[in-house]
Amino acid sequence: MRSGNGFLSMRQRRLAWVGFILAALQAPLAARLIDDASWLFSLCVAGMVATVILADDAQRRHPAPAPESQDR
């Protein structure tokens, strides 16, 4: 169980994974079927989505901040 919360909800995280997989699979298919270099756009989108997933994962791995005690 992870102790911290990320900035993506579980639904957003699941959709990000689906988007990453679709964009990553679409890029080589488009490269094979289309003569221009528009497949690079799919590769860039997949890279950006992967960066967001990694950033959310890194934030989730940080421990949750402990509540401050009021010992006054």
Instruction: Say how far apart CA 42 and CA 46 lie, in whole Å.
Output: 6
Cβ neighbours of 3 (radius 10 Å): 9
Q: Phi and psi of 5, rounded to 5°?
A: -110, 140
Nearest CA among 55, 61, 41, 62 for reference residue 12: 55
Helices 39-61, 10-33: axis angle to 10 degrees equals 160
pLDDT by position in tens, the chain (length 72): 445 688 999 999 999 999 999 999 998 898 899 888 888 998 999 999 999 999 999 998 887 677 777 765
* Overall pTM surpassing 0.85 (yes/no): no
